[in-house]
Amino acid sequence: MNPRQHCLLCLQRTPASLLEAALWIAAEHDPTVVPASALAQLHPLQLDIAHSLPVLPPRELAQPLLRVLNTLGFQQDEYQPIRPQAALLDHVLQRRRGQPLALAILALELAHRLHIPLEGVNFPGHFLLRVPGADYLLDPCGGRRLYPADCRELLHRQYGANAALNAEHFAVASPAQMLQRLSRNLRQLHTHHDNDLAALIDAERVMQLGPVSSADYLARATLYGRLSCPQAERFDLQHALLLSDDPLQRLKLTERLGQLPSASRSLH
């Protein structure tokens, strides 16, 4: 099987092997990545954390787990511009720096191994964690507790003062949703660093991991355009047009489609 097939197989397990799946994503971009070896190296970290945790009921250990991880150097990658390494789990394990989602995936793996209840929350702009049933969320970058007022402030910081907090922002993220979000992050990072072929790998994975939006088709169409594949670009622009509810975007997509060469003239 290729890395993509291994990744998807990890999601079919009960429970899903989230960290291993993320490592297979890294292996798509670097054939030298061996997920089994990376997972084996996690055992000493697990022992260090277990010895550092206080004697408390499992439900009260999620925040201490995140704080211990932070003390051990697992922190948000502040390097600018953000590099793909911040979302590739093999690099995150080596460098102990990563995006919030990457740090959350590691924390969820360790929580599972240590029998600590913890779940992912698909908060926009900054992935968060939660103990099931708790009235607060946890920042994977250090373990800070976030109550509704804190979440509203975080949302406004990401999207502006007019952004409205709603129930969808607190929805539990499934393993497939987390990997799809990770793939979108990687698609964006590889695009910003002018690695269109790597970004296309991520864009295609986005399509396989769950429902997609007009923006996903548009992002892949842009990559196909940069790679001079007009027929593939046309296909994605047409699907983006079908899914878009924005009249202005629909007009721009129609104009863009009209500028592409006809199918009879294309070599792709």
- The predicted-structure confidence for 120-130, as pLDDT tens digits, reads as follows 999 999 999 99
Low-confidence ranges of the chain (pLDDT < 70): 263-268
Sheet strands side by side (includes 119-121):
119-121, 128-130, 137-138, 145-146
Q: Report the pLDDT value the prediction gives residue 263, as an integer from 0 to 100.
A: 63
Listed by start position, the domains of the chain span 3-170, 175-265
Tokens of 113: 């191994």
Distance of CA 88 to the CA centre of its chain: 10
Q: Give the three-state DSSP class for 232.
A: helix
pTM for this model (two decimals) = 0.94
Q: Report the pLDDT value the prediction gives residue 268, as an integer from 0 to 100.
A: 41
Q: Report the pLDDT value the prediction gives residue 267, as an integer from 0 to 100.
A: 42
List residues bridging with 98 in a β-sheet.
Answer: 76
**To which H or E segment does residue 120 belong?**
strand 119-121
CA distance 91 to 166: 34
Q: Report the pLDDT value the prediction gives residue 146, as an integer from 0 to 100.
A: 97
Q: Report the pLDDT value the prediction gives residue 262, as an integer from 0 to 100.
A: 75
Q: Report the pLDDT value the prediction gives residue 6, as an integer from 0 to 100.
A: 98
Contacts 24+ apart (CB under 8 A), 14-17: 15/112, 15/175, 16/175, 16/176
Specify whether the backbone of 42 is left (phi greater than 0), alpha (psi in -120 to 50) or beta. alpha
Q: Which CATH number fits domain 175-265: 1.25.40.10, 2.30.42.10, 1.10.10.60, 2.40.30.20?
A: 1.25.40.10
Nearest to 17 by CA among 8, 26, 29: 8
